[in-house]
Structure 1
Amino acid sequence: MGIFKTRKNKKFSYTPRYFDDKGEGNPFEIKHKFDDYRKTVGGNTSLKTKFINALDDLKNNQDQEANRRILIIVAILVFIFLFIIDFDLSIFFK
């Protein structure tokens, strides 16, 4: 019965039905379709490297409309946060 022994997982020789051996990549790998075009997706790198890659990706982005939209949304959320904490906005105006 072995109280202190753990059971080993069963191994099966499963091959997917529609996967041929000549196919590219692993059929069990779950991958986003835009991962090949991003630098930020990948191995475990340092926080500084991730931040630099994210800024580089933002600078080389061709869709400036999306960048402007994100900045507007962030500004609105900051003003809502300042309103909630009752920050005195009169220091910005004369």
Structure 2
Amino acid sequence: MGILSTRKNKKYSYQPRYYKGEGNPYELKHKFDDYRVTAGSNKGLKTKINNAVDDYKTNVDTTGANRRVLYIIAALILIFLYIIDFDLSIFSTNR
């Protein structure tokens, strides 16, 4: 066991006695492994970022969820600025 290497979990090949299905029912895997490349065991920050950007570019958002999130964030920011009585006149050119 090296000092800098991470420890891997042990894997067992246990097959239940009365299970007649396909594969191992006790196998742990992510729900979206079949659809995403970002759920794997990627090494390094650059690889993770590149995989996330590629995944974002290839999967087109058809429901408009990204736009909806941006609208909600903008509304929350405006409500926060209203609560703290932020003066928006500092952004105008007339002084």
Match of 1:53 in 2: 51
Question: In the alignment, is the contact (CA less than 8 A) between 1:19 and 1:27 conserved in 2?
Answer: no
TM-score when scaled to structure 1?
0.54
The aligned residue for residue 30 of structure 1 is 28
Q: How is 1:1-80 mapped onto 2 (pairs within 5 angstroms)?
A: 15=16, 17-20=18-21, 23-24=22-23, 26-64=24-62, 65-79=64-78
**Identical pairs, percent:** 58
Deviates further, 83-92 or 40-49: 83-92
1:4 — aligned with what? none
Size of the alignment, in residue pairs?
79
Using CA pairs under 8 Å that are at least 6 residues apart, name the structure with larger relative contact order, 1 or 2. 1
Question: For residues 18-43 of structure 1, what are the alpha-carbon distances to aligned partners after superposition, in whole Å with 9 as ceiling and x for unaligned?
Answer: 344xx23x321122332111011001
Distance 1:60 1:44, change over 3 A: closer
CA 1:59–1:76 in structure 2 vs 1: closer, same or farther (change >3 Å)? farther
The answer as to whether partners of 2:42 and 2:48 remain within 8 angstroms in 1 is no
2:66 maps to amino acid:
N
Identify the residue that residue 8 of structure 1 maps to in structure 2: none
CA contact (8 A) 2:37 2:55 kept: yes
- TM normalised by structure 2 equals 0.54
